[in-house]
Amino acid sequence: MDLAARVMSVVGRTSLSESSTSPVNNCQKIGKVMDVSDGAFIGGFIPSLIEKQRYPYSRPEFLYFSDEEISLSSDHSIRPVLCPRLPHKMPLYAGYAEVINAGKTIQNEDQASAKMLVLSQHQGTEMNGFHDEKKFETRNGSVNEVEDDPMLTPGGDESEKSNIFAPRADAALFSIFDGHAGSAVAVVASKCLHEHVKSRLCEILDTLLHLDRHENLNFGKHRSESSYSMSKVRITLDDECRIRSEQLVKGALETSFLDMDEQISQDKQVWRLPGGCAVISVLVFLGKLYIAFSANAGDCRAILVSSDGTKALSRDLTPSSERKRLQELAYRNPELIGNSFSRLEYSKKLTRSDLKSRVLYRDWFMDGWAVKTVNETDLRPSLISESSRKRRLLNTIGVSRGFGDHHLLTVDERLSIKPFLSAVPEISVTNLRDMNTLSDKDVVIVASDGLWDVLSNEDAGLIVRSTLGSTDSSDSSRYTQAAQDLIAAARGQQASGNLKRWVMNSGGHASYDDITVFVIPLKYCAAPPTNFEEEDDDEMLSLE
Amino acid sequence: MDLAARVMSVVGRTSLSESSTSPVNNCQKIGKVMDVSDGAFIGGFIPSLIEKQRYPYSRPEFLYFSDEEISLSSDHSIRPVLCPRLPHKMPLYAGYAEVINAGKTIQNEDQASAKMLVLSQHQGTEMNGFHDEKKFETRNGSVNEVEDDPMLTPGGDESEKSNIFAPRADAALFSIFDGHAGSAVAVVASKCLHEHVKSRLCEILDTLLHLDRHENLNFGKHRSESSYSMSKVRITLDDECRIRSEQLVKGALETSFLDMDEQISQDKQVWRLPGGCAVISVLVFLGKLYIAFSANAGDCRAILVSSDGTKALSRDLTPSSERKRLQELAYRNPELIGNSFSRLEYSKKLTRSDLKSRVLYRDWFMDGWAVKTVNETDLRPSLISESSRKRRLLNTIGVSRGFGDHHLLTVDERLSIKPFLSAVPEISVTNLRDMNTLSDKDVVIVASDGLWDVLSNEDAGLIVRSTLGSTDSSDSSRYTQAAQDLIAAARGQQASGNLKRWVMNSGGHASYDDITVFVIPLKYCAAPPTNFEEEDDDEMLSLE
């Protein structure tokens, strides 16, 4: 993903209160961050001393590549397609492949992670305390890895099983992070996001599993309405309150995305973490797929491929589609754009010659358009401007969601952009039980914009179905072969006579960008490796 | 509509900047309003001197009732059903009926208006000036009526036709206003909203009519995609910008609703205007129905009744359905709730005994639920509380949208509630061209909660279809008869032996509330009385 040339990533007076949100834990921390940013570094710039990275650049660990191999694989002129060395060890036998860009950036700015999460109920009741201590080691300056998780295979984490009476479950999490202005934030997110998700799921696991079981019991009775009144069981919720297990998973994803962004904000005080990343995650849990995306149109996308065709599981979140949110923020906090930008959207690009003429516009509360007479204020650059073909926020950045960018300022006015960026994910849920039949050719494709820039959803679906149709169903590497074929199609071949040109088989321009693809088989998602005990329900219900 | 007993409507330090929005015209005015409120009245309370009302209580003028008749009709023990004296003079032959409540309030707090709008393009180009001067006479203390509009019949306003070359069109606007804490705001809105709508439509009429004509020309070619690139005609819009006539009508409605609320804010400086109102409007224009509603669930509702059954044209806007908007406001502007409320929603009502236990909650960015440990802050009343069965905002008001309530404060903490209330309408559009056939039994029913509290959409549809089936299609009063039958069904009969009890034919409780109903025939909506000239297109296009 490109950033406009005028972008600077520096430590500035970022108003973190606009974007950090976890209300319970973070209020105090935000204050601290502000102090450090403003006080410790003269002029607000990161001194070049802070060049150390907590997680140096690498490729996903599930590839099992040596440093030398990683170095060799990043040849921009050859662009080899990388696949996991041990496909049968991938969570849920998911396929994976990646390729580096054709020279746009030295490093591959895409990152990916694939994890089995072995979940067990947190035992503490004083959540405010333990939750933070567990996660934010950086505050003590400690460099301990948070990676206490089974890497690749389910059930590998024995330490989590010490209390055999605690409720347990397994989940799988696949994420793609599309970095901009460097790969640092994408790398950190790929190492840590699953820990935040796991932690949030473990907080609520007992209630979640209980609800899920009762929803399944009632499945036959209320197929269309799977909500379940918690008042019917011994949980201390009011009668009117109907909460479903799905909503607890959503809440865990929502809060963990903000946890991740908050961690990046804190890590930035100690480590070098320029830039940001878009993110899309697929959580496979209790027979459902949760697609959480805090990503830009085309940057990352998930589609479902079945015999019925393809179906988008994520939607566009762009400065354009988020216009009303961004405009309302500027309306309520006009200091965020100062006198440098106009909040309004106009039907045309205004120049001085438009002064006193009439123009169509829309403001934060409008789906429609109204007319106004152009005045001097309207000649300011638009909050959401059109530069070339992509709409940019504050004339700078083409994304409106994701992680990082905490210190991104506009060049001329030194306005902080982070308050407009949101780490909040949108979440779509697919219940695999609602799908009539699942064949081993039904998959979810998750990929970065390197793929979607040159392949339509339909093309991608056809390629995968074709590969899976010609491979043996017992071959654990077939989904990785499908991912490979997707990459090969999107990257294309070097043109004969001009090795710097990449063309697709169709003859059209191939993708010059980093490309990353997961192909996740629904068959193994539908029957996830759960291993929680059949404990006595009523003993496990109370939230207290 | 009831208000909680603890509501006070007084002039307070209402932060108008949170709710008044028309960005171009109103910025300065907001400042003025604040000054007057805070300065002119000691302690911020309206002195009792200001008891004069610009528009005294009355019933809709299209009823043609004398003051004496109005007085007689408000007998709470008899509850006569009122209908227009001249049904054939109602715009589009729409039916209407109303009945007063059974003693809940002295006055009928519902109001209604039905207007034909004869539109012609505003000639001024300096919109900022003329637009405001035209509408807000109150700033000069003048009491001139704004009513220069043809009341009931199309084409009656000759003054508008002085320039026969200006583009013209007719529209019809039907509105119901459900007042709370008095009828004053509902009365003002019923007298003025159509003027604001008309003014906004006239600002943009030339462009609007031009686009509409070209969309109709392209109707056959692109039935499913009626958007039209303005770049193809001589309008000075950028190539990429596709704006449809429908979006200009929406913009006119959106801005005029805020104009109306701003007028109420200003009128309040001079006239006595306590309370507020919910509103639902049906604009019939160029073959489409625009339902604009800034109303609460059940307060006002519009449904479409055809041979296919009934279909809701408005949706619920309640403190509950608007939770995320309200919570985000409190998150970004914590001073709005001070230390008196908790922003979070909880899965149960918390008491002191819940301290340190775990509870499910959700915050402004969450569709899902997460868990937290209860602390002192959580024991504060919830921003959106459950009192009896209805969710209330700041423990006070059961609505989240509408006009008025500018000076509504919470009793204990004197927090201003207005910043949370929005006058912004949601708008649904029904294209009558998309309906296969229109019979004279196809209607839109718009009614206040007095009706919907006791009749389902389906019941209401059946009653209307039955009445229309038994009346002659040439009878111009048949839609009023249908409205009458709806009211009669919802109001029911006095129980024999207990004249204070009202029962429905089914035996169930009838409505004790004010009831107001429009029955609008789609046949006359589909062929609205337009009379604009067939001028040369290209001469009329430029916005300049």
**Cα-Cα-Cα-Cα dihedral sign, residues B502, B58, B284, B246:** negative
Interface test with chain B among A207, A209, A285, A365, by most B beta carbons within 10 Å = A365
The mean pLDDT of B457-466, rounded to a whole number, is 96
CA separation (Å) from B415 to B268, B334, B336? 19, 12, 7
What percent of chain B clears pLDDT 90, i.e. is strictly above it? 51
Residues of B (227-246) whose Cβ lies below 8 Å from A? 230, 236-238, 240-241, 243, 246
pLDDT number for residue B218: 67
Judge whether B178 and B186 are in contact, CB under 8 Å. Answer: yes
Q: Is the ipTM of this complex over 0.90?
A: no
Query: Which of these, B248, B222, B243, lies nearest to B233 by C-alpha position?
Result: B243
Residues of chain A contacting B22 with CB distance shorter than 8 Å: 363
Task: Report, as an integer, the average pLDDT of A517-537.
Answer: 67
In B, which residues are within 8 Å of A252 by CB distance?
368, 370
Which residue from B127, B240, B255 is facing A358, i.e. has the nearest CB? B127
Residue of B nearest to A333 (CA): B332
pLDDT beyond 70 at B3: no
Of B248, B343, B372, the CB nearest to A369: B248
Give the distance from CA B160 to its chain's centroid. 26
**In this model, does residue B42 exceed pLDDT 80?**
no
Partner residue facing B368 (CB), from A251, A372, A386: A251
Q: Establish if A360 touches chain B: CB-CB under 8 angstroms.
A: yes
**Residue of chain A whose alpha carbon sits nearest to that of B239:** A348
The amino acid at B169: A
pLDDT at A272: 85
Is B355 an 8 Å CB contact of chain A? no
Q: What's the one-letter identity of residue B99?
A: V
Q: Taking all residues of chain A, what is their mean pLDDT, rounded to a whole number?
A: 78
Binned at pLDDT 50, 70 and 90, residue B311 comes out as very high
B371 → closest Cβ in A23, A203, A238: A203
Q: Which two tokens stand for residue A48?
A: 């070049």
**pLDDT for position B32:** 23
Residue A369 near residue B200, CB atoms below 8 Å: no
Q: Length of chain B in residues, anyone?
A: 544
Q: Which of B336, B371, B387, B428 to mutate to test the interface with A (most CBs of A within 10 A)?
A: B371
- Exposed e or buried b per residue across B171-200, where buried means at least 16 C-beta atoms within 10 angstroms of its C-beta: bbbbbbbbbbbbbbbbbbbbbbbbbbbbbb
Backbone angles phi, psi at A289, to 5 degrees: -105, 125
Among A16, A255, A341, A541, most B C-beta atoms within 10 A, so best to mutate, is A255
Interface touch B332/A427, C-beta < 8 Å: no
The residues, any chain, with a CB within 8 Å of residue B418's CB and separated by 6 or more, are B14, B15, B16, B18, B19, B405, B406, B407, B408
**Other beta carbons less than 10 A from residue B300's beta carbon:** 29
Q: Would you place residue A165 in the very low, low, confident or very high pLDDT band (cuts 50, 70, 90)?
A: low
Three-class secondary structure of residue B216 per DSSP: helix
Whole-angstrom CA distances from A180 to A184, A299, A337, A397, B408 are 9, 11, 23, 10, 48
Least confident interval from A42-51, A310-319, A521-530: A42-51
Alpha-carbon distance of A103 to B535, in angstroms, equals 58
Residue B227 has pLDDT above 90, yes or no: no
Contact B371 A238 (CB under 8 A): no
B61-119+168-214+243-316+421-526, superfamily in CATH?
PPM-type phosphatase domain (3.60.40.10)
User: Per-residue pLDDT averaged across A172-180, rounded?
Assistant: 94
Cα B176 to Cα B445: distance, rounded to the nearest angstrom:
11
How many residue pairs bridge chain A and chain B with CB atoms within 8 Å of each other? 185
Which residues of chain A neighbour B341 with C-beta distances below 8 Å? none
Helix (H, G, I), strand (E, B) or coil at B288: strand
Question: pTM for this structure?
Answer: 0.79
Per the model's pLDDT, the better-predicted residue between B478 and A390 turns out to be B478
Question: Given a cut of 60, is residue B472 above it in pLDDT?
Answer: yes
Q: Residue by residue, what is the 3-state secondary structure of B112-180?
A: EEEEEEEEECCCCCCHHHHHHHHHCHHHHCCCCCCCCCCCCCCCCCHHHHCCCCCCEEEEEEEEEEEEE
Mean predicted confidence (pLDDT) in A181-188 = 92
Section B420-427 average pLDDT: 93
- List of chain B residues whose C-beta atoms are within 8 Å of the C-beta of residue A424: 365
CA nearest to B252 within chain A: A370
Contact A543 B241 (CB under 8 A): no
Closest CA to B98 of B63, B66, B57, B72: B63
Could B237 and A347 be called an inter-chain contact, meaning their C-beta atoms sit closer than 8 Å?
yes
The Cα B70–Cα B49 span in angstroms is 27
Average pLDDT, chain B: 78
Nearest to B298 by CA among B454, B412, B112: B454
Decide which of B330 and A158 is more confident: B330
B-chain residue closest to A334, CA distance:
B17
The percentage of chain A sitting over the pLDDT mark of 90, rounded to a whole number, equals 51
Strands, E, within A67-145: which ranges? 95-99, 110-120
Q: How confident is the model at residue A184 (pLDDT cuts 50, 70, 90)?
A: very high
Residue A76's Cβ-side half-sphere holds a number of Cα atoms within 13 Å equal to 13
Q: Which of B201, B285, B358, B542 has the highest number of chain A CBs within 10 A, making it the mutation to test binding with A?
A: B358
Q: How confident is the model at residue B29 (pLDDT cuts 50, 70, 90)?
A: very low
The answer, yes or no, to whether residue B300 has pLDDT greater than 70, is yes
Candidates A526, A523, A494; CA nearest to A510 is A494
> Quick one: chain A helix, strand, coil %, rounded to 5?
35, 20, 45
Which of B29, B30, B33 minimizes the C-alpha distance to B17?
Answer: B30
Give A283's strand partners: A173, A290
Judged by a CB distance cut-off of 8 A, whether residue B164 touches chain A is no
CA distances from A532 to A116, A121, A148, A201, A206 (A): 15, 11, 20, 14, 10
Q: Nearest chain B residue to A386 by CA: give it.
A: B240
All residues of chain A having their beta carbon less than 8 Å from the beta carbon of residue B362 are 251
Tokens of residue B282, six digits: 């049906």
Distance from CA of A451 to the nearest CA of B (A): 25
Cβ separation of A125 and B357 shorter than 8 Å?
Answer: yes
Percent of chain A whose predicted confidence (pLDDT) is above 70: 74
Which of A12-16, A45-49, A173-177, B460-464 has the weakest average pLDDT? A12-16
Which residues in chain A touch residue B228, judged by CB atoms under 8 angstroms apart? none
Contact B364 A128 (CB under 8 A): no
CA dist., res. B490 & res. B514, Å (int): 10
Section B221-248 average pLDDT: 53
- Locate the chain B residue with the closest alpha carbon to A378: B24
pLDDT for res A528? 52
Residue A33 pLDDT level (bands cut at 50, 70, 90)? very low
CB B255 within 8 A of CB B423: no
Dihedrals phi, psi of B324, to nearest 5 degrees: -65, -40
Q: Which residues, in sequence order, are CB contacts of B131 under 8 Å at separation 6+?
A: B25, B199, B203
**pLDDT, tens digit, for every residue of B487-537?**
999 999 988 888 788 999 888 899 999 999 999 999 989 875 443 333 333
CA distance, residue A279 to nearest chain B CA (Å): 17
| pLDDT above 60: residue B36 | no
Task: Answer whether A371 sits within 8 Å of B18, measured CB to CB.
Answer: no
Contact list in B for residue A356 (CB cut-off 8 A) is: 125-126
- pLDDT (0 to 100) of residue A168: 86
Across B273-301, average pLDDT: 88
Structure letter (DSSP) for residue B416: B
Is A331 in CB contact (< 8 Å) with chain B? yes
pLDDT of residue B163: 52
From B385, B400, B427, select the one nearest B278 (Cα to Cα).
B400
Q: How confident is the model over A59-70, as pLDDT tens digits?
A: 999 999 998 888
Question: Given an 8 Å threshold on Cβ–Cβ distance, is B366 in contact with A200?
Answer: no
Mapped onto helix, strand or coil, the DSSP state of residue B523 is helix
Q: What local confidence, expressed as pLDDT, does residue B508 receive? A: 87
Tokens 């000076």, residue located: B407
Q: Cβ separation of A254 and B343 shorter than 8 Å?
A: no
Q: Which of residues 250-289 of A touch B (CB under 8 A)?
A: 250-255, 258
Look at residue A11 and tell me whether its pLDDT is greater than 90. no
With left for phi above 0 and alpha for psi between -120 and 50, is residue A249 left, alpha or beta?
alpha
* Radius of gyration from C-alpha coordinates of chain A: 24
| The predicted structure's pLDDT at residue A147 | 37
Residue B245 · residue B208 · CB < 8 Å = yes
Task: Decide if A203 contacts A122 (C-beta within 8 A).
Answer: yes
Residue B380's Cβ-side half-sphere holds a number of Cα atoms within 13 Å equal to: 17
Q: Is residue B283 pLDDT above 70, yes or no?
A: yes
The pLDDT value given to residue A344: 96
Which residue in A has a C-alpha nearest to residue B357's C-alpha? A544
What are residue A73's phi and psi, to 5 degrees? -75, -10
Question: B163-213: per-residue pLDDT in tens?
Answer: 556 678 999 999 999 998 888 999 999 999 999 999 999 999 999 999 998
Residue found by looking up tokens 């509105």 in the block: B175
> Taking CA B82 as the corner, what is the angle to CA B80 and CA B86, rounded to the nearest 5 degrees?
145
Residues A37-47 have a mean pLDDT of: 37
Q: What percent of chain B has pLDDT over 70?
A: 74
What contacts A165, CB < 8 A, 6 or more positions away?
A533, A535
The pLDDT assigned to B258 comes to 97
Within B394-533, where are the H helices? 449-452, 457-469, 478-491, 522-526
Pairwise CB contact (< 8 Å): A543 & B357? yes
Provide the terminal-to-terminal Cα distance of chain B, rounded to the nearest Å.
46
Q: Which of A247, A370, A422 sits opposite B204 (nearest CB)?
A: A370
Q: Which residues of B touch A353 (CB under 8 A)?
A: none
Q: H-helix or E-strand containing A130?
A: helix A127-135
Element (H, E) at A282: strand A276-285
> From the list B249, B362, B363, which residue is nearest A368 (CB)?
B249
Q: Cβ–Cβ contacts within 10 Å for residue A532, how many?
A: 18
Residue ranges covered by each domain of chain A: 61-119+168-214+243-316+421-526, 323-398
B287: which DSSP letter? T
What is the arithmetic mean of pLDDT over A364-382?
95
Cα angle B384-B338-B330, degrees, rounded to a multiple of 5: 50
d(CA B195, CA B175): 12
Chain B partners within 8 Å of A333 (Cβ): 332
Q: Which residues of B touch A359 (CB under 8 A)?
A: 543
Question: What was the pLDDT predicted at A223?
Answer: 39
Cβ-based neighbour number of residue B233 at 10 Å: 16
Rounded average pLDDT over B44-73? 78
User: What does the alpha-carbon distance between residue A198 and residue A131 come to, in Å, rounded to a whole number?
Assistant: 11
The least confident of A23-32, A342-351, A482-491, B387-396 is A23-32
| pLDDT single digits (tens) A404-450 | 999 888 877 889 989 999 999 999 999 998 887 889 999 999 999 99
B370 touching chain A per CB within 8 A: yes
User: Contact A236/B200, CB-based, under 8 Å?
Assistant: no
Cβ contact A21–B364 (<8 Å): yes
**Which pLDDT does position B438 carry in this prediction?**
86
What number of CA atoms fall less than 13 Å from residue A364's CA on the CB side? Answer: 21
pLDDT at A241: 52
Tell me how many degrees the CA angle A289-A314-A183 measures, rounded to the nearest 5. Answer: 100
Query: Is A65 within 8 Å of chain B by CB?
Result: no
- Chain B residues within 8 A of A343 when measuring between CB atoms: 23
A136 touching B, CB under 8 A? no
Q: Name residues 179-238 of chain B within 8 A of A (Cβ).
A: 200, 203-204, 207, 230, 236-238
